[in-house]
Amino acid sequence: MTQYLLALHNIAGEAVEPMSDEEMKHSWAQVSALNEELQSSGAWVFGGALHGPDTATVVKVSDGEVMTTDGPFAESKEHLGGFYVIEAEDLDAALAWASKATAAVGKPIEVRPFRDGRGA
Amino acid sequence: MREPGTASKLEAAEIGRIFREESGRSVAALIRAFGDIDLAEDSVQEAFALALRRWPSDGLPPNPGGWITTTARNRAIDRLRREARRRELQSETAVLSPDDHDLDVPEEVGRMEDDRLRLIFTCCHPALSTEAQVALTLRLLGGLSTEEVARAFLVTEPAMAQRLARAKRKIKAARIPYRVPEAHELPARLRPVLAVVYLVYNAGLTSVSEPGLCSEAIRLARILTTLMPDEPEVAGLLALLLLTESRRASRTRPDGSLVLLGEQDRRRWDRALIDEGQTIVRRCLRRNQPGAYQLQAAINAVHADAASIQQTDWSQIVALYDQLLTCAPTPVVALNRAVAIGEVHGAAAALALVEELQLSDYHPFHATRADLLRRLGRESEAAVAYERAAAMAPTEAERDFLRLGGRASR
């Protein structure tokens, strides 16, 4: 088994058409159904949705000193909106979960293997 | 004692040919046995080096493919043992060495076909870029050297080596599976496999340096039809390649310039390839599960039947394009359909269809438009369209041809 990160990407400025209450409810129901399925199948490791990049803080070492700065690490239109960490047999199994996730949230999902997986 | 005869005069080139023929099978079998592409590749390469040293004096073994697989397998086991031993010495603790049971690679030949099928689906996994799919397929399944693959796609050998290494790293790290897709996944997973083979063929068709890619693609398509005899599109692809190949010798002049279908010397078309292609097309028609490759093959089969461009059954071709357009509704198909309609209903009807297409980045669009305009006597518009087509054409031969107003220079 390998662990995979399923990263949900938001694109700033795109699709800001606010969801109707109806759509919101529908999406929320789909996400909860997916979470339940992930948990009952044993694939679930961890997951959650993040606050926006305007709530981010970056900490780094510069000249031996720890610096704290406001804002996200990279100035970019895309940012991480949320993620799952799952356990799957192989990439096809991970992609099958990612397909369900993208259908539920309507956002592209990036799938990446963890280095520590026993398979890699 | 062996008679000093043909067997002892095996040349390196002949051994190379046999190796290319057999290596895909061996690599595939070893990947299944050891689960490691690099180990499989390196061991098969070592077996080849050994064959080059031994076969010229010992003669060809009765089953060269089996010899390569067995030799490579033994090399792989040796290497794993050495590595286990080294790890043991380094850590100075008792580590589990791979026991012989695990390394006992089954030698059933029947499963090898399945291994090659697994291998092609791994090489053409949609998680890999098309470039990586093509390179892996030619390297691992086709047995081409990294240098040969690099030459075919006009990149340097180190760049190609890097592309291959990166793809293999992804297969390993992301655990791209080594298995044949389930029936319900097959249509989606077969698409890139067929596309890769078709792309290899077209690369051979357009590249002067590497015409060998055409035969390589046909060989890959033949392997696929052996592995998946019940997939109509696999048969369709092979038929399409065979029928296209039957005209390859007559589609260019010695200077490399193009000869249009209507101007080709049809006596030079390869009848054996046409017969084989048409037989497959007829079988596909009986099966009646049409797809894009089968329909393109059928269109080519109709051309192959005609003694000249005028005697071609164009209404049959239009009917096939109508069908093709429903299963592959792309502007390129629509353009080719318009050309066929031009032959049945005249240039004006065709031009009306062509003008509706959004294809200004595609040079055959301008070439087709130019040809239709000329046929309608609109010479100055035709000249502009020819110039646009020429400016975009990828090869010198095509540029020259189009600058001459789509007419042969001699």
Query: Are B174 and A113 within 8 A, CB to CB?
Result: yes
> Binning pLDDT at 50, 70 and 90, where does residue A16 land?
low
Query: Which CATH number covers residue B387?
Result: 1.25.40.10
Q: Which residues of B touch A120 (CB under 8 A)?
A: 172-175
Token pair for A92: 């096809």
> Binning pLDDT at 50, 70 and 90, where does residue A17 land?
low
Q: Which residues of B touch A94 (CB under 8 A)?
A: 174
Of B47, B74, B98, the position where a domain reaches its end is B98
Q: Is residue B138 part of a domain?
A: no
Q: Is the pLDDT of residue B293 over 50?
A: yes
Kindly report the nearest CA distance between residue A6 and chain B, in angstroms.
12
Rounded mean pLDDT, B236-246: 98
Could you list the residue range(s) of the whole structural domain that residue B59 is in? 1-98
**Chain A residues contacting B via beta carbons under 8 Å:** 2, 4, 89-92, 94-95, 111-113, 115, 117, 119-120
| The pLDDT value given to residue B187 | 84
Kindly report the nearest CA distance between residue B171 and chain A, in angstroms.
9
Q: Which residues of A touch B127 (CB under 8 A)?
A: 91, 95
Which of A83-92, B339-348, B399-408 is the least confident region? B399-408
- Give CB contacts under 8 A, 24+ apart, made by B262-265: B262/B308, B262/B309, B263/B408
Q: Is the pLDDT of residue B359 over 50?
A: yes
Q: Is residue B217 part of a domain?
A: no
| The pLDDT value given to residue B407 | 63
| The pLDDT value given to residue B101 | 43
Q: Which residues of A touch B177 (CB under 8 A)?
A: 89-92
Residues whose CB is less than 8 angstroms from the CB of residue B406 and which lie 6 or more positions away in sequence, other chains included: B260, B367, B370, B371, B374, B386
Q: Is residue B14 part of a domain?
A: yes
Rounded mean pLDDT, B167-193: 91
Rounded mean pLDDT, B57-85: 93
Q: Is residue B274 part of a domain?
A: no
Token pair for B278: 């048409």
B254 versus B231: which is more confidently predicted?
B231
| The pLDDT value given to residue B113 | 57
Of B98, B114, B136, the position where a domain reaches its end is B98
Reported as a single tens digit per residue, the pLDDT across B22-50 is 899 999 999 999 999 999 999 999 999 99
CA-to-CA distance for B234 and B223, rounded, in angstroms? 10
Kindly report the nearest CA distance between residue A101 and chain B, in angstroms.
17
Rounded mean pLDDT, A32-58: 93
Token pair for B243: 């029928």
Contact B174 A113 (CB under 8 A): yes
Contact A91 B172 (CB under 8 A): no
Q: pTM, whole model, 2 decimals?
A: 0.82
Token pair for B281: 């097309």
Query: Are B137 and B200 within 8 A, CB to CB?
Result: yes
Q: Is residue B43 part of a domain?
A: yes
Kindly report the nearest CA distance between residue B44 and chain A, in angstroms.
23
Q: What is the CA radius of gyration of chain B?
A: 25
Rounded mean pLDDT, A16-22: 73
Reported as a single tens digit per residue, the pLDDT across B294-312 is 999 999 999 999 999 999 9
Q: Is residue B289 part of a domain?
A: no
Contact B175 A111 (CB under 8 A): no
The chain-wide mean pLDDT, for chain B, equals: 88
| The pLDDT value given to residue B400 | 82
| The pLDDT value given to residue A4 | 97
Of B53, B81, B98, the position where a domain reaches its end is B98
Fold of A2-113: Alpha-Beta Plaits (3.30.70)
**Closest residue of A to B179, CA-based?**
A92
Contact B127 A95 (CB under 8 A): yes
Smallest Cβ–Cβ distance between A120 and the set B125, B127, B172 belongs to B172
> Binning pLDDT at 50, 70 and 90, where does residue A10 land?
confident
Query: Which CATH number covers residue B53?
Result: 1.10.1740
CA A63 to chain centre: 33
Q: Is the pLDDT of residue B135 over 70?
A: yes
Rounded mean pLDDT, B224-245: 95
A18 versus B277: which is more confidently predicted?
B277
Q: Is the pLDDT of residue B114 over 80?
A: no
Rounded mean pLDDT, A37-58: 93
Q: Is the pLDDT of residue B126 over 70?
A: yes
DSSP A99: H
How many folded domains does chain B comprise?
A: 2
Q: Is residue B319 part of a domain?
A: no
For chain A, the domains span 2-113
Contact B175 A95 (CB under 8 A): no
Query: Are B252 and B258 within 8 A, CB to CB?
Result: yes
Reported as a single tens digit per residue, the pLDDT across B394-409 is 777 778 888 877 664 4
Q: Is residue B337 part of a domain?
A: yes
Query: Are B332 and B359 within 8 A, CB to CB?
Result: yes
| The pLDDT value given to residue B238 | 98
B145 versus B234: which is more confidently predicted?
B234
